[in-house]
Amino acid sequence: QVPPEFADRVTLLTEKHLDPVDVFNATLFNAVRQPDIEADAIMRQTISRLNGAAKIEDLIAHTGLGGRGFRSIARLIGSRELELQGRVRVAYDCLVMRRAA
């Protein structure tokens, strides 16, 4: 119970109300939040030359970073340096592009 002086209304929000794509991506971004200075620098240099969209797996193959590259790209999406093309879960076959300044 909440007195009317405290709030006009109370809304119950559960995991059933959350978009599964948002939950998946947020969980991934949380899991990779620890920087990898070397991999992040290499990936930032790679995406600085990016024109248009590229598949995540192609960026990783280009850098040779493997799993470190995937985690780096996830961090760059989470920090909004890259953006996903469409409302999708972050995966190797997703398209990403640099965010417009």
Which contiguous run of DSSP H or E holds residue 97? strand 95-98
For the whole model, what pTM was predicted?
Answer: 0.83
Res 97 pLDDT > 90: yes
pLDDT digits (tens, 9 = 90+) for 4-25: 788 888 888 887 889 999 999 9
User: What confidence tens digit (pLDDT) does each residue in 23-80 have?
Assistant: 999 999 999 999 999 999 999 999 999 999 999 999 999 999 999 999 999 999 999 9
**H or E element, residue 27:** helix 20-31
Q: Which helix (H) or strand (E) holds 76?
A: helix 67-78
Which residues lie below 8 Å from residue 4, measured CB to CB, with a gap of 6+? none
Confidence class of residue 101 from pLDDT cuts 50, 70 and 90?
low
Termini Cα distance of the chain = 46
Amino acid type, 53: A
